[in-house]
Amino acid sequence: MQDKTKVAIIGAGISGLACASHLQAKGSTVRVFDKSAGVGGRMSTRRGPTWQCDHGAQYFTARSARFRAELARWEAAGVAGRWAARIGVIDSPQGPWRETGANTERYVGVPSMTAPAQFLAASLPVQLDTHVDDLRREPSGWRLHALGQGWQDDLYDAVVLALPAPQSKILLAKTAHTFLGIVDEVRMRPAWALMMHCDESFDPGFDAAFVNCGPIRWIARNMSKPQRQGEDVWLLHANAQWSEAHLDAQPSAVIKILIEALQEFCPVLVRTSVVHRWRYADTQTSLGRDYLWDARIGLGLCGDWLKEAKVEGAWRSAVCLADAMTGELENNCLDVELISIEFSSFLYESALVLRNEILRKPLGRSLDNDDLNGESEQLHYGIICQDRTLVACVSVKNNGDKRYKIRQMAVSERFQGKGLGAKLLAHVERELIAGGAKKISLHARESAITFYEKLGFSCCGELFDEVGISHIKMDKII
Ligand SMILES: Cc1cc2nc3c(=O)[nH]c(=O)nc-3n(C[C@H](O)[C@H](O)[C@H](O)COP(=O)(O)OP(=O)(O)OC[C@H]3O[C@@H](n4cnc5c(N)ncnc54)[C@H](O)[C@@H]3O)c2cc1C
């Protein structure tokens, strides 16, 4: 990718919009396409003449520091807020409902679930009502084809598919890309959603409940969420198994069965109702990867199905992809080259000098035997710049059983802050994955935890002392 890269993002759900925002903030020119008439995808709100109801994602959690920071931005903009709901659990139609017992903090879009998506979209060029049904890589970039509109004029350096896995598969099939086989491993499941006006006296004592019996999985009073307007509407989600078995059922039959199931544990009079079928609601088998990115042709995939089937997971996947893409952008501007380094070669000696300079001298130490033991058996990688000077290096120890440990990463002071560390690690990761790696670990300095988190590593255990400074073990499961 070069400076002012043009990127097409297909899908204006939370992942597509988050990816586009991050790329735009880093200097790329972006354009987001969606087949729907509005943004938000599965973070969606159904509207009637006198009512509205969140009928996709019901709430979201914010567990990672990065997403919490984004949530704080949304809250400051007034587009998200805490849902302090009374949440119950129903285990059997006969028994009383119980409290969840969990202390989960739940958040929702305000005044509707689509609000965070609309907030992100407000500063992005978004082209709605555009169903991308084909794409091809031409010598000078990607060209998109939209249903009923034909091949588009613009060419893009990169394309991001921010769509559910089966919808990504349809587009990948057009390019015959190797990601097609990978995406094929993912299984997503449907959910029927029923929105109902109930008798005004209906108050089961909870605002929402998880249901562990019969076809229903979740019930919620939409008005219990902050700043909702209109008539009181209740929402039911059928569970994945039942929804899958009734995927092609008539809406009238779905309404009848779900209302009867509800009445088994809540005596309620339902006045009017409407159903919606979500074909891809959750992910049964995910990839366990944050994103997919092929830098050679500029093709990336993100979304909730890659690792964590939630709003937070979709957002995280998107920003990790944007990080990887912009890392490439910065590095390619630097005109550097990734290389493998042979043990005991001239470049290996250069790596020792660099490691000593960056990792040991500032601590008042020098590389010692403990640092160098076993290095003849290890893999060594580096980055050289135009004049062939080594500017970054890293070593990798094979711990057996497809587990690897990254060690001794150093980036020359002059080249720090330009994304070279991320580029080198991404390269090493690709090489290790090609060799069948299942787990990559490292000991991160406390100050570098966020850097590694952005690359998909997670902290394991407590901080410990290594070479006189605080470290933590971090793992990435491939
Ligand atoms: C019923 C249900 C309940 C849920 N409950 C929760 C919950 O309580 N908490 C939680 O965290 N998450 C929940 N989720 C999951 C959450 O909604 C998703 O994880 C998240 O919204 C996914 O965002 P995304 O951007 O990856 O995908 P999407 O939101 O699906 O966005 C994809 C977008 O791509 C568009 N698109 C598809 N194909 C094309 C094409 N060919 N051309 C152009 N555009 C296209 C679609 O119109 C859509 O707007 C729920 C989902 C459902 C359906």
- Give the range among 206-220, 324-338, 399-413 with minimum mean pLDDT: 324-338
Residues 224 and 83: their CA atoms lie apart, in Å, by: 8
- Of 301, 328, 355, which residue constitutes the final position of a domain? 328
| 233 & 362 share domain | no
Ligand 1 centroid distance, CA of 305 (Å): 10
- Of 284, 309, 328, which residue constitutes the final position of a domain? 328
- Residue 207: pLDDT band (50, 70, 90) is very high
Residue 176: per-residue pLDDT? 78
Residue 84: per-residue pLDDT? 95
| 424 & 457 share domain | yes
Query: Strands 234-238 and 187-198, how do they pair?
Result: antiparallel
Residue 334: per-residue pLDDT? 60
Supply the residue whose CA is at minimum distance from atom 6 of ligand 1. Answer: 57
Given a cut of 70, is residue 328 above it in pLDDT?
A: no
Residue 386: per-residue pLDDT? 67
* pTM, full prediction: 0.75
Per-residue pLDDT tens digits for 282-302: 999 889 888 999 887 899 999
Per-residue pLDDT tens digits for 215-234: 999 999 999 999 999 999 99
Please indicate whether residue 304, judged by its CB atom, sits closer than 6 Å to ligand 1: yes
| 78 & 204 share domain | yes
Strand, coil or helix: what is 151? strand
Average pLDDT value for residue range 189-203 = 94
| CATH assignment of the domain containing 345 | 3.40.630.30
Per-residue pLDDT tens digits for 103-133: 899 999 999 999 999 999 999 999 999 999 9
Average pLDDT value for residue range 401-408 = 96
Number of domains the chain contains: 2
Please indicate whether residue 292, judged by its CB atom, sits closer than 6 Å to ligand 1: no
Let me know if residue 385 belongs to a domain: yes
Let me know if residue 38 belongs to a domain: yes
Residues 231 and 397: their CA atoms lie apart, in Å, by: 62
Supply the residue whose CA is at minimum distance from atom 10 of ligand 1. Answer: 310
Residue 385: per-residue pLDDT? 78
In order of 127, 300, 328, 476, the CA distances from 131 in angstroms are: 10, 18, 29, 35
Let me know if residue 295 belongs to a domain: yes
| 161 & 310 share domain | yes
- Of 328, 343, 375, which residue constitutes the final position of a domain? 328
| 119 & 264 share domain | yes
| 351 & 246 share domain | no
Per-residue pLDDT tens digits for 266-279: 889 999 999 999 99
| 179 & 277 share domain | yes
Per-residue pLDDT tens digits for 152-182: 999 999 999 999 999 999 999 998 788 999 9
Residue 143: per-residue pLDDT? 96
Identity at 384, one-letter amino acid code: I
Per-residue pLDDT tens digits for 367-380: 999 999 999 999 99
The more confidently predicted of residues 438 and 326 is: 438
Let me know if residue 308 belongs to a domain: yes
| CATH assignment of the domain containing 306 | 3.50.50.60
Residue 52: per-residue pLDDT? 96
Residues 451 and 444: their CA atoms lie apart, in Å, by: 9
Average pLDDT value for residue range 321-331 = 74
Mean pLDDT of the chain: 93
The more confidently predicted of residues 325 and 75 is: 75
Residue 375: per-residue pLDDT? 96
Given a cut of 50, is residue 333 above it in pLDDT?
A: no
Asked whether the beta carbons of 170 and 21 are under 8 A apart, the reply is no
Supply the residue whose CA is at minimum distance from atom 2 of ligand 1. Answer: 56
| 246 & 315 share domain | yes
Let me know if residue 1 belongs to a domain: no
Ligand 1 centroid distance, CA of 41 (Å): 5
Average pLDDT value for residue range 416-423 = 85
Q: In sequence order, what are the beta bridge partners of 150? A: 146
What are the DSSP calls for 253-290, one per residue?
HHHHHHHHHHHHHS---EEEEEEEEEEEEEEEE----S
| 245 & 357 share domain | no
Return the best residue to mutate from 21, 163, 317 for the ligand 1 pocket (most ligand atoms within 8 A of CB).
Answer: 163
- 196: tokens are 């109902």
Please indicate whether residue 164, judged by its CB atom, sits closer than 6 Å to ligand 1: yes
| 439 & 397 share domain | yes
Given a cut of 70, is residue 462 above it in pLDDT?
A: yes
| 77 & 185 share domain | yes
- Residue 2: pLDDT band (50, 70, 90) is very low
| 268 & 399 share domain | no
Average pLDDT value for residue range 64-79 = 95
Could you identify the atom of ligand 1 that is nearest to the CA of residue 313? Answer: 19
The range of the structural domain enclosing residue 339 comes to 335-477
- Residue 329: pLDDT band (50, 70, 90) is very low
Average pLDDT value for residue range 48-73 = 95
